[in-house]
Amino acid sequence: MELRKSEEALPGRAVALILLLCVSGMRAETARYSVPEEAERGSFVANIAQDLGLTGEELRARQARLAPEGEKQYLQLNQHTGDLLVREQMDREELC
């Protein structure tokens, strides 16, 4: 029995479809929070895990991290609790 070209590519297409379905379940979440300029180091901003409906374990498993827009990392994320804290006091003049 002779296979046509379209029949040969079917396993590759099936694998691609399965991978697409698996990857589509993963997505990036973006969250924005306001922080007062006067906030001291260690000040609580929000609980990211709670806001995203995740547990601390799920947050760690998904390798949650912060992606700063500038050079400095003003916030820090505690992956065990999901707490977002002020890492460095912000200066409006420096940011603008």
- CATH number, domain of 55, equals 2.60.40.60
Please report whether residue 1 resides in a domain.
no
Tell me which amino acid residue 32 is: R
Q: How many domains does the chain have?
A: 1
Name the token pair of 27: 């997505």
Instruction: Report if pTM > 0.75.
Output: no
- Geometric angle at alpha carbon 89, from 81 and 54, rounded to 5°: 20
Please report whether residue 23 resides in a domain.
no
Rg (CA), the chain: 22
In order along its 96 residues, the chain shows pLDDT tens digits of 555 554 444 455 666 656 555 554 555 666 778 888 888 999 999 998 888 888 888 888 888 888 777 778 888 999 889 999 999 887 777 766
Query: How far is Cα 94 from Cα 90, in angstroms, rounded to an integer?
Result: 8
* DSSP bridge partners of 83: 47
